[in-house]
Amino acid sequence: MKVITEENLTSWRRHLHQNPELSLEEHKTKEFIASILKEYGIEYQETLETGLVVIFKASVETKDTILFRADIDALPITEENDVDFKSKNDGVMHACGHDGHTTMLLGSVIEAADYYKNNDTKVNSIFVFQPAEETFGGGNLLINDFDFSHYNILASYALHMNPDYPEGHIVSKPKEIMASANEYRIYIKGRAAHVGLKNTGIDALNVATMFFQEMLKLNALHTKARNTNIIHIGKMYGGDAMNVVAENAYLEGTIRTYSMEDLETIKAAIENTRVGLEHLTGASIRVDFAEGYPAVINDEVPYQVIREVIEKENIDYIELEEAYLYGEDFSFFSRLSPINYSFLGLRNEEKNYVSGLHTPTFNFDEKILKVGVQYYLGILKYYNE
């Protein structure tokens, strides 16, 4: 790093960690990022209410562009770390590493400004500070809000902290790396009755348990055995009193898959189950699907780029053996270009940096953030040299 220092990265990360904000509420986060950009004389554009975009133009006239993205929102988790930069916002925490993601991108922007100022460049670059990854699909919202049409985006890149792999290692793989994440909600309407006249009612709880059992069979009956899919029921309740036949019941859950074909097959099977149980039980059943995040599929060319950059920059690398079944809205950036999504390992058992994502003790050593900056700058140089 030529302009910023490790102390800068540590300071910025700890400020962000102490001041986490939930999705689409990242107003102070945006103000902090903007203040650092202003300090270094870097212009930016605003998008949505809490997003920022920085664009550097190449020395030559061109539409060819590369894009880097960081998510900036936090989670509704109460932090349990005993550190002097612990979250000041009760019940809100950077438990997924977005404070690190933001810091790495901020450092990369400042280094990129110096690079564009002092070198002949062939491609433009866009740096996106994106709100609302955790809940609202902020990637999709931002792409709809900001006008990218003036640019031929060759590839989009993102990094995510990962406690499963040793600190300082870049971790990636070709093709699928994160699953699609979609939600469903099932509303069951039966008919209430006194338990002594149970035969006159329609037990919504009984229908819910039947639906539950059928859901457990869907993978085996309708999708290929070699495909990885999860159909999860996370909440189920119903009834009003112990001596009343339940009139209402409710189930909700998530579907995780890498295959959009399998997703449509699963949704159709759930709908067929609904129709069958209505005929069998006489209950009224409504199934609502909430469109979530598509699967994150790493494209071949950006993947080969990061492999070359990692080798040239002498960064440690691990090839991911199996994709994760987490959801991630960076998948929406495939609307703009081919993409690559990779991880930055943070695991250090000696320092007890081992807690998983979305846990109240998640933490990492800020020394790894310089690897992220080196990685992003390496990609930038690759396209310009």
- Position 219 scores a pLDDT of 79
Whether residues 245 and 312 share a domain: the answer is no
- Position 307 scores a pLDDT of 98
HEC string of the chain equals CCCCCHHHHHHHHHHHHHCCCCCCCCHHHHHHHHHHHHHCCCCCEEECCCEEEEEECCCCCCCEEEEEEEECCCECCCCCCCCCCCCCCCCCECCCCHHHHHHHHHHHHHHHHHHHHHCCCCCEEEEEEECCCCCCCHHHHHHHHCCCCCCEEEEEEEEEEEEEEECCCEEECCEEEECEEEEEEEEEECECEEHHHHHHCECHHHHHHHHHHHHHHHHHHHCCCCCCEEEEEEEEEECCCCCEECCEEEEEEEEEECCHHHHHHHHHHHHHHHHHHHHHHCCEEEEEEEEEECCEEECHHHHHHHHHHHHHCCCCEEECCCCECCCCHHHHHHHCCCEEEEEEEEEECCCCECCCCCCCCCCCCHHHHHHHHHHHHHHHHHHHC
- Position 222 scores a pLDDT of 80
Q: Quickly tell me which residue has 């062939």 as its tokens.
A: 122
Work out the pLDDT band at 295, boundaries 50, 70, 90.
very high
How many domains does the structure of the chain reveal?
A: 2
105-109, 259-263, 355-359: which has the minimum mean pLDDT?
A: 259-263
- Position 127 scores a pLDDT of 99
Work out the pLDDT band at 253, boundaries 50, 70, 90.
very high
- Position 328 scores a pLDDT of 95
Domain assignment of residue 1, yes or no = no
As given in the structure block, the two tokens for residue 204 are: 């919504």
Whether residues 114 and 187 share a domain: the answer is no
Pick from 14, 25, 7: nearest CA to 75:
25
Asked whether residue 279 is marked as a ligand-binding residue, the answer is no
- Position 106 scores a pLDDT of 98
Asked whether residue 27 is marked as a ligand-binding residue, the answer is no
Whether residues 236 and 334 share a domain: the answer is no
| CA dihedral of residues 240, 242, 247, 249 (deg, nearest 10) | 70
* Averaged pLDDT for residues 197-224: 92
CB atoms within 10 A of CB 42: 17
* Averaged pLDDT for residues 219-246: 88
- Position 223 scores a pLDDT of 79
Pick from 80, 111, 104: nearest CA to 381:
111
Q: What percent of the chain has pLDDT over 70?
A: 100
* Averaged pLDDT for residues 139-168: 98
Asked whether residue 134 is marked as a ligand-binding residue, the answer is yes
C-beta of residue 282 within 8 angstroms of C-beta of residue 202: yes
Domain C-terminal end among 237, 272, 289: 289
To the nearest 10 degrees (0 to 180), the angle between helices 6-18 and 369-384 is 120
Pick from 190, 192, 201, 209: nearest CA to 251:
209
Whether residues 132 and 76 share a domain: the answer is yes
Whether residues 97 and 174 share a domain: the answer is yes
Whether the pLDDT of residue 226 is over 80: the answer is no
Q: How many angstroms separate the CA atoms of 272 and 285, rounded? A: 11
Whether residues 99 and 247 share a domain: the answer is no
Whether residues 133 and 88 share a domain: the answer is yes
Domain C-terminal end among 289, 324, 358: 289
Q: How many angstroms separate the CA atoms of 368 and 121, rounded? A: 28
Whether residues 24 and 134 share a domain: the answer is yes
CA atoms within 13 A on the CB side of 269: 19
Domain of 221, in residue numbers: 180-289
Work out the pLDDT band at 266, boundaries 50, 70, 90.
very high
- Position 231 scores a pLDDT of 92
Domain assignment of residue 98, yes or no = yes
Domain C-terminal end among 230, 262, 289: 289
Q: For residue range 29-73, list pLDDT tens digits in order.
A: 999 999 999 999 999 999 999 999 999 999 999 999 999 999 999
Whether residues 310 and 207 share a domain: the answer is no
Asked whether residue 160 is marked as a ligand-binding residue, the answer is yes
| Cβ contacts of 100 within 8 Å, gap of 6 or more | 13, 161, 344, 346, 364, 366, 368, 369, 372
Q: What is the mean pLDDT of the chain?
A: 96
Pick from 249, 259, 156, 242: nearest CA to 203:
249
Whether the pLDDT of residue 228 is over 90: the answer is no
